[in-house]
Amino acid sequence: MARVLVRGAGIVGLAVAEELQRRGHVVLVVDPAPGSGASHAAAGMLAPGSEVWWGEEGLLALTLRSAALWPAYAARLGVPLHRAGTLLVGHDRGDLQDVERQVALLRSLGGTATLLDRAALRRAEPSLGRVAGGALLPDDRAGDPRRVVAALRARVRVEPAATGWDHDVAVVATGARLPPPHAHLVRGVRGEVLRLRTDDPPRHVVRGWVAGEPVYVVPRPREPGAPDPGVEVVVGATSEEHDGPPVVTAGGVARLLEAARVLLPGLDRAELVEATARDRPTSADHLPLVGPAPPADGPVPAVPVVLAAGHFRHGVLLAPLTARLVADHLATGHVEPLLDPRRTDHHARTDPEERHAPPHRQR
């Protein structure tokens, strides 16, 4: 059994730390601001189906594997999941074509989606505004990442610094800002989200397009016995490559609210509780980096370094799988080929154009 130092107490670092501890390792997590990164903003969709995109079949296999872990994972952590599924909806005819494309892609990869006409949609989700049509993706779920982070934090030791703590292995899970010499492997893509409180939340996660503008509305599960009838819903998300700090912009808030209120007019009466911006951590090819750090210039590290980084728009969904992959790697040396950080050596050093390719989707 090893002494493992985990840098970063976001959902990924904490999930890794907890899994390593369960397997008998001695673990310390170090973070001056635990839980304050992208995991604080995330909507918590566990949605391989509504997120899948052309060319991402390999990633889909991994997101499906992790999605299958979530029900037992959430139950163990005592975190409720939203299980009613996702409604994908299009406001106008053009938006509906986006829905139909997504459904065709998902079905071609073996996923389940049922196209619904307007009447069927209104029966399934009476709070919907005027939409051209849509589809139900029954297998997508959602959970509250802040609750997951709190539950994991309660199970592991988290300190602001690791002064003098001897360790055999270091895991770097510091989100959008990796420390040197790995900093160039990950960059931030800003995402803004809003938190509203309403006593009339949608039953489903509602994702859609309004005149080409993508938006989602994620209701938190109702707490049995909670005195307050209000429910939090998360409205997201913008997506922007930038070099500055992730701030909430007036334009971002306006676009999100406009689109969400078209799909769900009842949100007009909701209380606006919070607007948050954070950087999604992404790699050159938008796939996570999970496994041994690639060789770097400079002094050889004193202990082996394992990365658990670059989870982009899937960090919540993939957290339980990443935790297992890191623990398996320490036990057997196995690395998931698609996620092997050593693949980045070529991208990062020889193809700056590719490093800055824009992400094609948002979450």
Give the N- to C-terminal CA distance of the chain in Å, as an integer: 38
Please, which residue, 11 or 348, has the CB nearer to ligand FAD?
A: 11
To the nearest whole angstrom, how small is the minimum distance from the Cβ of residue 65 to ligand FAD? Answer: 14
To the nearest whole angstrom, how small is the minimum distance from the Cβ of residue 234 to ligand FAD? Answer: 8
- What are the b/e assignments for 154-181, b being 16+ CB within 10 Å? eebebeeeeeeeebebbbbbbbbebeeb
Please, which residue, 132 or 321, has the CB nearer to ligand FAD?
A: 321
Please, which residue, 133 or 175, has the CB nearer to ligand FAD?
A: 175
DSSP state of 245: -
To the nearest whole angstrom, how small is the minimum distance from the Cβ of residue 347 to ligand FAD? Answer: 19
The residues facing 240 across adjacent strands are 190
Q: What are phi and psi of 240, to 5 degrees?
A: -150, 130
Point out which residues bind ligand FAD (CB under 6 A). 7-13, 30-31, 33-39, 41-45, 173-177, 179, 191, 193, 236-237, 278, 280-281, 311-317, 363
Q: Report the SS3 class of residue 347.
A: helix
Please, which residue, 132 or 279, has the CB nearer to ligand FAD?
A: 279
To the nearest whole angstrom, how small is the minimum distance from the Cβ of residue 130 to ligand FAD? Answer: 26
To the nearest whole angstrom, how small is the minimum distance from the Cβ of residue 33 to ligand FAD? Answer: 4
129: exposed, middle or buried (Cβ count in 10 Å: 0-12, 13-18, 19+): middle
Please, which residue, 17 or 128, has the CB nearer to ligand FAD?
A: 17
* Closest C-alpha among 254, 245, 244 to residue 275: 254
Please, which residue, 27 or 96, has the CB nearer to ligand FAD?
A: 27
Please, which residue, 355 or 361, has the CB nearer to ligand FAD?
A: 361
Please, which residue, 119 or 161, has the CB nearer to ligand FAD?
A: 161
Q: What are phi and psi of 97, to 5 degrees?
A: -60, -35
The residues facing 291 across adjacent strands are 307
Tokens 């635990």 found at? 34
- What are the b/e assignments for 30-57, b being 16+ CB within 10 Å? bbeebbebbbbbbbbbbbbbbbbeeebe
To the nearest whole angstrom, how small is the minimum distance from the Cβ of residue 137 to ligand FAD? Answer: 14
Please, which residue, 133 or 278, has the CB nearer to ligand FAD?
A: 278
To the nearest whole angstrom, how small is the minimum distance from the Cβ of residue 122 to ligand FAD? Answer: 26
Kindly report whether the peptide bond that precedes residue 237 is cis, defined as omega within 30 degrees of 0: yes
To the nearest whole angstrom, how small is the minimum distance from the Cβ of residue 29 to ligand FAD? Answer: 8
CA angle 143/146/226 to nearest 5° reads 70
Q: In what order do the strands lie in the sheet with 45-46?
A: 45-46, 141-143, 81-82
* Spatial separation of the C-alpha atoms in residues 234 and 38, rounded to whole Å: 14
Q: Both tokens of residue 108?
A: 């071609």
To the nearest whole angstrom, how small is the minimum distance from the Cβ of residue 237 to ligand FAD? Answer: 4
